[in-house]
Structure 1
């Protein structure tokens, strides 16, 4: 499967919003989006009026890039959300948040979702005591994510875990810095998901 290997700040500029794709750097004055808030390319300074379709497309792309998911997998997750009870938009965000790579990021083990995904793929985490290296695995309430025993001396993980103790962990998760583990204590609700998108536009994009 292809993957984007270019500068991630370009994606933020394309969507006209900070997507926090570079971790802590996005909160500093070195943030590429903050320094150059214009669309990439030769005609980046031209901002024409978007059509109704264009508005919904941009919201979909913004959400997909926020979580760093390929189009096919993104659409599959939406289809699953559509078959669940309740509001499709909220279900969709909840499924995206419950992915293992996102939970690892939210717990602070990765400074970005891209790094968290790589750490999961390299087998550095266990779920309920069993090693799991599938970033898209969906967690449920009560699941415990922990750094694998053989990975606790990995410098990146130790540094991130120590730094995460000072960060704000979402209320639907709990974090134990000594055990280097976290627990899904509840399903995330919309107010607990800090995603800068209008999910209803995404629903309307796929319903067209």
Structure 2
């Protein structure tokens, strides 16, 4: 009888303690605060807005746009200007490397709201390192008002931009067109014989931006020489 009573007491004690542990465990689970991680969608949207603001700010000002491109490597600016004598000396000293053909594609786009259409005289040209190239772009003002603008050039790939010399270009200074006026403007460039051997194609593109004729851009040091 004593044994049965003892067994009953232990059983009762054991069964009474079990809910307490279970309750403690349940309470612990409920009080844990889950760690919130930022949503990938939200993070991507924030980055997209930041990039859009950066581009909008840069496009609003031509000098800032040039600095922005150079800082973040968005296309090469190349060597802004090369004197005619220097270009001739380069060609006469080394001569064209006729065993290498490089295709230069030509492109252009106007900033939003600028009523100018422009196109290259040819869509592309095949040339050799050490040889100078002369071509032109045709500009047409589609509006009934005078338009002032500035062209910013870009060259890709970046390795080609380092060996690309603009000798004469409408992008060296501000341009203007009268109402409905069309004009042909020249471009004169050369590829250095030092251009990497793996480059067979490259692109020269221009973007036009509206300009206030009352505000003059500072002349870069490389263009002033």
> Would you say same fold, with TM above 0.5?
no
Structure number with the higher strand fraction is 2
Give the number of the structure whose alpha-carbon radius of gyration is greater: 2
Structure number with the higher helix fraction is 1
Could you state the TM-score of these two structures normalised by the residue count of structure 2? Answer: 0.26
Could you state the TM-score of these two structures normalised by the residue count of structure 1? Answer: 0.28
